[in-house]
Amino acid sequence: MTDSAIAWVFPGQGAQESGMGRDVYDAFPSARDLYERADAVLGRPISKLCFEGPDDVLGKTFNAQPALFVTCIALLTVAREEAALAEAPAFVAGHSLGEYTALTAAGAISFEDGLRLVETRGRVTQAAADATPGGMAAVIGLDEAAAQAVCDEAGVELCNINSPGQLVIGGAKGKMVRACELALARGAKRAIPLDVSGAFHTSLMEPAVAEFSAALAAIEIKPPQVPVVANDAARPMTEPDAIRAELAYQLTHPVRWVQCVEYMAGQGVDTFVEIGPGRVLTGLIKRIASGTTLKNINGAGSVSS
C-alpha cells in the first residue's frame, strides 16, 4: 500500500432522518432514477418515506435499512458524476448496514440485490427482535476488556466497538438494566439506553440467520473491485463465499469499527470520506485515527469537487 491513500466509509442504521436525499433527488437526474428504481424494486414508495417521513415510520428497521442504503448510493453516484470523488479509494468499509453499501460501491453486489438484501435483513431481524425483546445501550468510558467483563457478568453481549471508550452492549431487556448498573459501577461515565427495537448484533438475532443466509445464497456476489474491510475480521473480503459468510455472521456478532479503521490507517489510508446522511462515522474516526483528513458527502451541497 502507498504512503497516502483514501477510504470511503458508509454509515449504518441510526443515521437516517426524514428529508435525507431530497436535495440530490431534486438536483440530479441520476439520484432521481435511483430512488425511482428503489420504489419499483421494493414495490412501495421508499422515496416518500426518505423525504417526508414520518420519522417513527422511517425509523422502523424494515424501512430504515433500504432508505439509508438508497440514499447513500444516490450520494455516491452523484459525487462520482460531479468529480467530488475523483481519486479511487484504496478501501471501502461500512458500519453494520453500511457494509452492504460498501459492497455495492465496490461492485460486489448490484444495486437491486443490495436493496432486496437490506429489506430482507430488516424484516428478519425485526422478527427476531419481536420474538425475544431486547435492548441496547451505549457505554461511555470503558475499554473493550472492561465492557466485555460487564457483559459476561450481566449475561449480555458486545454489539459495537465504535471508538476508544465508546461501545454498545445489548441483550435481553431484563438483563440490560443490570448491565448498565454494572458498567457505571465499573467506572463508565455513562450508560445510555438506546431507542432501538431489539438487541442487534447479538445471539438474540440467531433466528434470523437461516432465512437471511438463504437470501444471500440466491443472489450473485462478485469479487469486489476495491477491497471491502469486513466488520468482524477487520480485513478485506475478496471472495463471494467469504462475503456471504461475513454478512450472515455479522447479524449475531459485533461490529468492530475501531479495528476496521485501525487496519485501513495502518495500510496507509490518511483520508476518510464518509458518504451518507450525518457525520456519525466522522466523529468516531476522529477518535480512532487522529491526524487523518476527514471529509463528508452528505447532501447536494457537498458533492461538487
- Cβ–Cβ under 8 Å, residues 193 and 180: yes
CATH superfamily of domain region 5-130+203-302: Malonyl-Coenzyme A Acyl Carrier Protein, domain 2 (3.40.366.10)
Mean per-residue pLDDT for 59-83?
94
- Cβ–Cβ under 8 Å, residues 246 and 232: yes
The chain-wide mean pLDDT, for the chain, equals: 95
Q: End-to-end alpha-carbon separation of the chain, Å? A: 25
pLDDT exceeds cutoff 70 at 288: yes
197 tagged catalytic: no
DSSP 206-240: GGGHHHHHHHHHTS-----SS-EE-TTT-SEE-SH
State CA 237 to chain mean position distance: 16
The answer for 162, left when phi > 0, alpha when psi is -120 to 50, beta otherwise, is: alpha
The pLDDT, as a whole number, for residue 305 is 44
Percentage of the residues of the chain whose pLDDT score is greater than 70: 98
Bridge-based pairing of strands 5-10 and 91-94 is parallel
Catalytic residue among 47, 163, 201, 253: 201
Mean per-residue pLDDT for 57-73?
94
Report the alpha-carbon distance of residue 291 to residue 293 in Å, rounded.
7
Higher-pLDDT residue of 19, 236: 236
Catalytic residue among 47, 95, 96, 253: 96
Give residue-wise pLDDT tens across range 143-159: 999 999 999 999 999 99
Question: 133-193 — its CATH code?
Answer: 3.30.70.250
Ranges of each domain in the chain:
5-130+203-302, 133-193
96 tagged catalytic: yes
- Cβ–Cβ under 8 Å, residues 236 and 227: yes
pLDDT confidence bin for 304, thresholds 50/70/90: low
| C-alpha separations of 216 from 1, 98, 104, 209 in Å | 31, 16, 14, 10
The pLDDT, as a whole number, for residue 3 is 65
Give residue-wise pLDDT tens across range 91-129: 999 999 999 999 999 999 999 999 999 999 999 999 999
Mean per-residue pLDDT for 246-268?
98
Mean per-residue pLDDT for 179-197?
96
Mean per-residue pLDDT for 221-247?
97
Helices (H), the chain: 22-27, 29-42, 46-52, 55-58, 61-81, 98-105, 111-131, 144-154, 173-185, 209-217, 240-250, 257-266, 280-288
Mean per-residue pLDDT for 194-219?
96
